Amino acid sequence: MKQLFEFIRCVVAAAALVAFAGGAYAQAWPSKPIRIIVPFSAGGGVDTLARMVGQRLSEQVGQPVVVENKPGAGGNIATAYVATQPADGYTLLIGANGLAANTTLYRNQPFDMMKDFAAVAYIGASPLILVAAPSFAPKNMQELVALAKSQPGKVTYATGGTGTSGHLASEMLKAAAQVDIAHVPYKGGTQAFVDLQSGRVDVMFIDPPLAMPQIKAQRLKAIAVGSAKRFDLLPDVPTVAESGVPGFEATVWWGFVAPGKTPPDVLAKLNAEIVKAIAHSSVKDRLHDMGVVPAAWSPEQFGRFLGTETEKWAVVIKRANIQPE
C-alpha cells in the first residue's frame, strides 16, 4: 500500500510539473522573433495583410515579426512547410479560402488541414463582387440570369485560374441560379482583368481592392455583391441573395493558423494579440479602405468556421468536378 501511495504521489508531482512548465512556457511567449509564412508572392492581398498585421503585432509584443513568402502549388508549398515546424507559437501561416478549399481540391497532400493545424485568429472578410464591362447589357442579377437562361453556354465568366475563389463562387452561382455559363480560366488575374474590361469575357467575381477603383472610374460596373448583407462601400448594389438567388454567399476571408500541437495557452495569447492588432486604428482603418470587415473571433470560433467552409466548398468542388491545373 505504501508503494501505491508513493506511485500516486510521483504521478501527481509529475503532472503538476508539466502543468507548471506549460504555463511558464506560455508566460514566456514571445521570447524570440515570430514568423508569418505567406503562401503567395510578395505584393498581393494576403502578403499586404500579413505585413500590416505583423508590423502592429511586433510593436505590441516587442519582438520582430518576419514575413516570409513561399508561393506555389495553390498555397500548398507554404502549408506543407508550416505543418513541419515546431508547435511553439513562433511560426504562423496566413491563408484565405484555400485553407478550406484545398483539402478537397488537392488530394494526397503530406498534411491534413484539420489535424495538423490549429486555428489561431480570424482577420476578416470581403465580399466577392460580380462585375462586368459597362457595355455588358445586363444591369443586375435578374437580367444576367435571364440572359444566361435564354442563351445557355453563351455567357462567359473569367477567373484567375482553376480553383480560385472566383472560380468556386461562379460554380456555386451556376448551381444556385441553375444557369449554364462558360468558364474562361486565365493564368493569373492580370490578363483576365484586361479582357473583362474590354468585354472579351462577360463577368467576373473579384475582391474589393481590385474592383473598387475600376467601379469608381466607371471602367467596370457592379452587378451584385456576394456577401449576405449589402457592402458598405457599395450600398446601392444588391446582394446576389436578394436578387433572386436565396442563400448565396461568397466572400474572401483571411486568418492565421499554427502547427497543430501548439499549446492552448500560446494559441490564446497569439489570438489576443492578433485581435488587438486588428482593432488598432492603424490596421482597422486600412482594412476598411481595402473593403475588409474584421471580426474578433476566438480560436474555437475560427476553427468551427474552417470546418464549415471546408464542407461548403467540398460540395461545390465535387459537384462541378473541379480539377487543379
Q: What is the average pLDDT score of the chain?
A: 91
pLDDT in tens, 192-250: 889 999 999 999 999 998 899 999 999 999 999 999 999 999 999 999 999 999 999 99
For the chain, which domains are there?
Answer: 11-126+252-320 (3.40.190.150), 129-243 (3.40.190.10)
The predicted pLDDT at position 4 comes to 38
The predicted pLDDT at position 210 comes to 85
Question: Rounded to two decimals, what is the model's pTM?
Answer: 0.85
pLDDT in tens, 13-33: 444 444 444 444 456 899 999
Residue given cell 495583410 in the structure block: 49
